[in-house]
Homo-oligomer: A and B are copies of this chain.
């Protein structure tokens, strides 16, 4: 941490900061520049909210130097992690890029079983589908709940696909963990800490979506909550951020994939469905995500998008997905991976 003093700060002002810094258990190092004095603070005290020093007289600002996350960081673990998911133990984060697809919501048994078959035949390794849905409006379809979980379990048994489904509240973690191969924490819940701790204790792999306006640091700190609760099997999923752009539901920031590959050992998926909000943009963003180095994709696929109960506008058909696979495979191979 660096404390930058305002111009005109007197030695007394600097001394006051030095004392505060020492109170925090840090070593101080005062540097007097031509225009400014700064106090460099040495020591690792991630627990302390040192930004309060900003309120000391004649302090201009505090510049943190260390990233606030640790266990998710490549500083602590340099080699990339793999998270094995589903009955077949598919490794997310290895050489192979894995595609997980399925409807936004489980709508009926027949729908899901047919989708699972189509998705498996397309070469996917996982099936997504929500039983409990976090909907922006209380008047929207809220999912089939427990009934949906049963259907997902049957789909897994028949297809062998890994089941990825969202858990929207603490109170469902146990029930969902009995069925799901991967517990999804949605964008809206990325900073719901009690839920992060609960999925951390569940023992199941966790797919942690980026909050719609989360910085990478906040996202990795959310992952840190899960890891801190004892669960290292965290998969990150970029799903686009909120910006001023109005032709998309979210702006899909693919540079995050490259940056995360640098900063964290955790595997990274991309969700081009929420990442754009419109089916016609999904194929190009699937290709771009694989080219950028994503470890996999999470794609909304629906047998009849026009009649989907949720997210129809951003769903493609399983047939369209199957049609894309050869191209995605060639792109994966171009960068030394496979699919």
Contacts from A to B (Cβ < 8 Å) = 2, 4, 7, 20, 23, 29, 31, 33-36, 38, 40, 42-44, 46-47, 49, 51-56, 62-63, 65-66, 68-69, 75, 134-141, 168-171, 188-189, 191-195, 212-213, 215-216, 218, 221, 224-225, 228, 241-248, 251-259, 261-262, 275-276, 278-281, 283-285, 287-293, 305-313, 315, 327, 330-331, 333-335
Contact = CB atoms under 8 A, between A and B. Distances in A.
A215 B192 contact: no
B306 A20 contact: yes
B276 A284 contact: no
Contacts of A66: 35-36
Contacts of A291: 284, 287-288, 290-292, 331
17 contacts: A2-B63, A4-B65, A23-B307, A31-B31, A33-B42, A53-B312, A54-B312, A55-B312, A138-B224, A170-B170, A170-B171, A192-B192, A254-B285, A255-B276, A327-B334, A330-B333, A334-B334
List 7 A-B pairs, minimum CB-CB distance, nearest first: A52-B312, A213-B213, A330-B334, A291-B291, A258-B284, A169-B194, A188-B191
- Please state the number of chain copies in the assembly: 4
A329 to B, nearest CB: 8
A307 B48 CA distance: 10
Interface of A is mostly: mixed
A278 to B, nearest CB: 7
